[in-house]
A and B are shown apart, each in its own frame.
Chain A
Amino acid sequence: MNIYDLIFYLFATITVLSALAVVSTKNIIYSAYNLMLTFFGVAGLYVLLGADFLAIVQLIVYVGGILILILFGVMLTNKVNGMPIHTEVTNIIPASITIGLFAGIVLAFFMNTNWKSVTTEFPATTIQSLGKLLMNEYILIFELLGVLLLIALIGAASIARKQ
């Protein structure tokens, strides 16, 4: 086993264990911080795959943005109401059926797909080719995503303003 495999298993263990903890802990703050660990582990896996830009954007968007917002909301509501928010398990049977089906589908695809493995060089830097693709081939989608985010922002602001 080479040392990169060891690093892969380290990050994979972090990701899986923390993801399990996210759904199994009762305390919602613990869930949020385990989610941070999950994002961190996934970012580590991206780095091992040579997708450095994706890894860093994952950290910026999810840890620096979304997770902070989640924590913000949970902490404020948790303390203001004066009682701790605990999550509980409800609807076990429908949930396990859905998850079982989904896991089955994913597993079936995983087993039946004829995976092609090609050995390629690690790209020295991904950001230049990504930027060219975004600005040439996928410019329309890129701009539409920008508009979508803007709509979401305006929508959030207008909901917040409504008295």
Chain B
Amino acid sequence: MIIYDFLSELFGSPVLAAFIQSFIPLIFLIPFALFAVWLERKVSAFMQDRIGPNRVGAHGWLQTVADILKLIQKEDIVATNANKPLFNIAPVLVFAGSYLAFAAIPFSSAFIGSGIDLGLLFIVAASGFVVAGILMGGWASNNKYSLLGAVRSAAQVVSYEIPTVLVILSVVMLTGSLSLYELSEMQTSSFYNWVIFGGTAPTLQKILLIPFMFIGFIIIYISSLAEVNRTPFDIPEAESELVAGFHTEYSGMKFAMFFLAEYANMFAVSAIVSAIFLGGYQSPFGYLGNTIGWEWLVPIEQFFWFAAKGIFFVFVQMWLRWTLPRLRVDQLMALCWKYLIPIAFVNLLIIGIIVIL
């Protein structure tokens, strides 16, 4: 809020301020992606008893910067039989779709994005553009592997949206709000007020809710893994079957764009899961700024907690990637339709009954 007010005073127009503000998450996202790629390589190296990148900078932390420099210089190849306009638009559409979600994510109480009332629904809607972009890239490449990867990805994302929405619905029944900002503000002051511990419901309700909230959290985390095409659900880009899935034909900066979109998506789903269940930008205990009387410190602390929770869940995604084997296509669909959706429905029903009590 503070940043938006500051910008609208500076430019004298709310529309212009909103336009400028929409670039702010990018300032966070690009360094995050650089860091996360390095972290992923280090984590995988650690888990496989290797050293990982260690040449560029201390512990190789500049490796991704060097990689980006390399990707910028690379020749931009478009296969002869590819559909050129769609091939060029696809990376932009995929990144735009994943960046769209950041419009609804509050980073701290000083920066709440657009703060729309329907934030959770908006994020579900934004993922449709990612799917359309992936299908576009896969089809325009004119490559069997790309098309297979894209079609698998679309089937997967569309299926796993259902358990996600069901869990979101059960949270909405409890909190009565679809806005991520309001959700985060509700879970203030202590980790005991987080939705995963039953939110701010009365004590008896809270105790009844906790196990079902944990089930909901696990379901939404599994389906968010599937929505960002991460292992164990990475069949759209399964290296051993499909070369690199929908982005097989891409090189240079277009490939980097897909990569950036993937890491932006990973952070977005982590931030959303933490905003729904784990208090978003709220600290698990009080704020240092409030204790020592420095009010201006509180938003910065909130940003720290937001980033810490997000990066922690990104780390868990990497951890799972290097631990679990990949699911087959039929297993993936069976997991969604035969297990997650029925469990999510029953969970929704039980949470509804507890909330009415």
Chain A residues in contact with chain B, CB under 8 A?
3-4, 7, 29-30, 33, 36, 52-53, 56-57, 59-60, 63-65, 67-68, 71-72, 75-76, 79, 124-125, 127
Contacts and interface: CB of A to CB of B under 8 A. Distances in A.
A71 B246 CA distance: 15
Given A33-B136, A36-B132, A60 B125 contact: yes
13 contacts: A3-B15, A30-B86, A33-B136, A52-B116, A52-B117, A63-B125, A63-B132, A64-B125, A64-B127, A67-B128, A71-B139, A72-B135, A75-B138
A67 B147 contact: no
Contact of B132 (A3, A68, A125, A127): A68
Interface string B218-251: 0000000000000000000000000000000000
Contacts of A65: 128, 158
A127 B118 contact: yes
Contact of A72 (B15, B121, B125, B151): B151
A76 B154 contact: no
Contacts of A36: 129, 132
B124 A76 contact: no
Interface string B148-175: 0011001100100100000000000000
Contact of B13 (A3, A53, A63): A3
A71 B132 contact: yes
B158 A64 contact: yes
B248 to A, nearest CB: 15
A75 B125 contact: no
Contacts of B32: none
B122 interface: yes
Interface of B: 13, 15, 83, 86, 116-118, 121-122, 124-129, 131-132, 135-136, 138-139, 144, 147, 150-151, 154-155, 158, 161, 178
B129 A68 contact: no
B131 A68 contact: yes
B135 A71 contact: yes
B114 to A, nearest CB: 10
A64 B161 contact: yes
Contact of B135 (A52, A60, A68, A79): A68
A56 B121 contact: yes
Given A59-B128, A63-B125, A65-B158, A127 B139 contact: no
A36 B129 CA distance: 9
Given A33-B86, A71-B135, A125-B117, A76 B151 contact: yes
Shortest Cβ-Cβ A-B pairs, 6 listed: A64-B128, A59-B125, A63-B128, A125-B117, A60-B125, A56-B121
B132 to A, nearest CB: 6
Contacts of B131: 64, 68
B134 to A, nearest CB: 10
Contacts of B15: 3-4, 7
Nearest to B138: A75
Contacts of B161: 64
B136 A56 contact: no
A63 B190 CA distance: 39
A4 B124 CA distance: 26
Nearest to B161: A64
Contacts of B129: 36, 63
A109 B155 CA distance: 43
Nearest to B85: A30
A59 B122 CA distance: 9
Contact of B147 (A64, A75, A125): A75
Contact of A68 (B13, B116, B125, B158): B158
A9 to B, nearest CB: 14
Contact of A56 (B125, B147, B154, B158): B125
B95 to A, nearest CB: 16
A67 B133 CA distance: 12
Given A3-B15, A33-B86, A52-B117, A71 B125 contact: no
With most chain A CB atoms within 10 A of its CB, the pick from B15, B117, B125 is B125
B45 to A, nearest CB: 37
A37 to B, nearest CB: 10
Nearest to A66: B128
Contacts of B132: 33, 36, 63, 67-68, 71
Contacts of A67: 128, 132
A125 B125 CA distance: 18
A72 B128 contact: no
A95 to B, nearest CB: 28
B117 A68 contact: no
Nearest to A79: B147
B227 to A, nearest CB: 12
With most chain A CB atoms within 10 A of its CB, the pick from B122, B126, B132, B138 is B132
